[in-house]
Structure 1
């Protein structure tokens, strides 16, 4: 039987027990230390507690041009993301995160995890979290573009209930584990999906001016009694419809699949480039098999002199350090970027919408001071179906006001 909520409940119980332990520690040591790290962090003895959250306010305007049928446009002002949560540590070995998102009147768990550190670069983590892909592991607070793009949609590597172990050094890591469903997925009364994954990275060059990242990952999963896997992409926005889609019929839905991906990124002072490629081999619910591929590549430049912040031990990108923020009389940081991404679903024979996708995205971001940024993205995407009459071109303009803590 599937019980993804049991693991989440266990993690929450442990977090609550740590909080209780902190209260007891406070009785023995009444002094409370408060520091500021984007939000107040409270420390009682060996226990720390810090609130965290983010809000993304978006405006989206989209034009859809169909080869046949009516063309149309749509626009919307919306809260793209609103999250609230906590994070902290207990001694040097335990850490925890519990964060929920609120959208359309519903709340769902995002990161919900507990980690035990055996050594400086070695740890075991359990809970609901992400495990694969350089862009996917980069927090949406720090991604160069407003949306991760079609590549992330295709490989479907969101947060799921996971037991993982990792080890590494100052410039490399290996992580692997097993996973089930998302903690938010309702029970179907049967067995949840099962999977296993592995990711490794190496940063052979890490200097003040230059960073080089190389990575590889693999995942194998079986849906069991869950809904079949879907292979589809959005138009570099989560607004509007998907027009390149293998569908949910037996000709396009996955019973099980294996995915392999490679990562590369380089930073040279204020210039950076990044790209990923992945292939998916799927066994279909209707019998037979099909494959899909996807990739992206982008370049960014800070005319104000900043540099993307790279964590060589984790193999991930983080928050940009602003050289001259408005709070100190400067103009903040400016980042300009361009991305090309593509996906090929044409092996799903007999599914008209399972064609090829490609898009170019232009982006500009202003960082006035830490924890706040304003973004604008324009995407010109093309959905070339296996039946030409189903081709769709989509132009999307998006702007965002973002803050986090």
Structure 2
């Protein structure tokens, strides 16, 4: 509880400093940079810009069990509500500090500082993500409302990281050391988890019409005195229970693991495809080992003519540029998409729910303006357990109103 209070206080302090800075900017006649969803203020070599996002969701879910009571559930909620700041100090230093406020709790999201000794190299320290094409693409720009079972299984969220990255116009390689999330509980006497990672990407084709992305990553981690690693997936939503789950018993929880992932994506005019595959070799707390695998593939099409914006130097996707936004009398952009997900946990022998997961998701998104979008996703998911009585089918309809700055 004390940590939550400190986080909330730090976030409020950031907002108050921004407000004071705004007033100072006006009185000192500081210049502001180009509008990018929010103003940017400058004092000499120091810049600061507010940032944030709000995702308001409605979720309706039907759960059909092989054995047991079928049921339906629904909820309207704030999926995400973030506020923060970002900026630079001179030509070589930059920073981001952003907190999330949902369900009466506050947590840090990106909280980092970066030093770039030259145009091709960066050293970053803080709480941030480092692996997977879909994972590194901001949720503001992902094609679907949720990243899906693949992201759940690889468990590559924001953790305290020291990373070094170098690259060029169409490639990069990064590596570093992982720790715990900055939001983990108060320090104890034990040692927090440790991990090593590396990710590389290459874009062999980058033209106005066509982009091709290839990537690979690897991670090795040890929980040390932390809670054992979990291997489980949701039904392409963070609402409801996980039905494909290796559990927390010694038969399914991990002391440490090694993961390898492959990335590929292609864009041709207003059509795109993307997919990833990963395998995880886990050393179990009860002795022995088990392997888990997951992949996804999706296709996206803009009937209004837009193109997914790929950043070849960073190896991730960015904000879509709207050809005819409603602010200029147009109809905005429309994106249609379909995705197939699969995960296999059957090597966790003796855990009834450690089976196979598969799902098909249909998505439609309307972008009236570049910083606003309305999304609808429908997912038909199947959780096939090692014991047939634990099989569960889940159908989920989700809609979202999204705004970011």
Which category describes the TM-score, using the shorter chain as reference length? over 0.9
Distance in 1 of aligned mates of 2:189 and 2:307: 49
Deviation at 1:44, TM superposition (A): 1.5
Deviations 1:250-296 (A, max 9, x none): 00000000000000000000000000000000000000000000000
Residue 53 of structure 1: aligned partner: 52
Counterpart in the other structure of 1:230: 230
Q: Determine helix, strand or coil for the equivalent of 2:134.
A: helix
Distance between the aligned counterparts of 2:28 and 2:399, measured in 1? 47
RMSD: 1.9
1-structure distance, mates of 2:57, 2:127: 26
User: Quick check: 1:188–1:226 contact (8 Å CA) kept in 2?
Assistant: no
On the 8 A contact 1:374/1:401 being kept in 2, the answer is: yes
Q: Does 1:127 align with 2:100?
A: no
Matches within 5 A, 1:161-180: 161-180=160-179
Q: What is the aligned partner in structure 2 of residue 140 from structure 1? A: 139
Q: What SS does the aligned partner of 1:389 have?
A: helix
Q: What TM-score do you get using the length of structure 1 for normalisation?
A: 0.93
Structure 2 counterparts to residues 248-327 of structure 1, below 5 A: 248-327=248-327
1:396 matched to 2:396? The reply is yes
Q: 1:317-353: CA deviations, max 9, x gaps?
A: 0000000000001000000000000000000000000
* 1:300–1:336 Cα contact (<8 Å) kept: yes
Aligned counterparts of 1:167 and 1:223: Cα–Cα separation in 2: 28
Task: Within 5 Å, give how 1:85-100 maps onto structure 2.
Answer: 85-100=84-99
Report deviation, 1:58: 0.3
Q: Report the alpha carbon displacement of residue 125 of structure 1 after superposing the two structures with TM.
A: 0.2
Distance 1:389 1:72 in 2: 16
Given that 1:188 and 1:225 are in contact with CA atoms closer than 8 Å, whether structure 2 keeps it comes out as no
Alignment partner, residue 80 of structure 1 = 79
Match of 2:335 in 1: 335
Deviates more, 1:31-40 or 1:262-271: 31-40
Q: TM-score normalized by structure 2?
A: 0.93
The offset of 1:45, in angstroms, is: 1.4
The C-alpha deviation readout for 1:97-149, integer Å capped at 9, x for no partner, is 00000011110000000000111121000000000000000000000000000
Give 5+ residue unaligned stretches, structure 1.
none
Moved more, 32-41 or 300-309: 32-41
Is 1:32 the counterpart of 2:15? The answer is: no
What SS does the corresponding residue of 2:152 show, helix, strand or coil? helix
CA shift for structure 1 position 70: 0.4
Q: How far, CA to CA, are the matches of 2:304 and 2:91 in structure 1?
A: 37
Write the distance in 2 (CA, Å) between the matches of 1:121 and 1:385. 48
Is the 1:122–1:168 contact (alpha carbons within 8 Å) kept by the matching residues of 2? yes
Please list every run of 5 or more consecutive structure 2 residues that lacks an aligned counterpart in the other structure: none
Q: How much does 1:378 deviate?
A: 0.1
Residue of structure 2 equivalent to 1:384: 384
Q: Say which SS state the counterpart of residue 40 (structure 2) adopts.
A: strand
Aligned residues: 389
Alignment of 1:181-200 (within 5 A): 181-186=180-185, 187-200=187-200
Asked if 2 retains the 8 angstrom alpha-carbon contact of 1:194 and 1:221, the reply is yes
CA contact (8 A) 1:136 1:148 kept: yes
Q: Residue 100 of structure 2 aligns with which residue?
A: 101
In 1, the alpha carbon distance for the partners of 2:166 and 2:39 equals 30
Q: Distance in 2 between matches of 1:49 and 1:158?
A: 26
Aligned to 2:201: 201
How many angstroms apart in 1 are the aligned matches of 2:128 and 2:374?
27
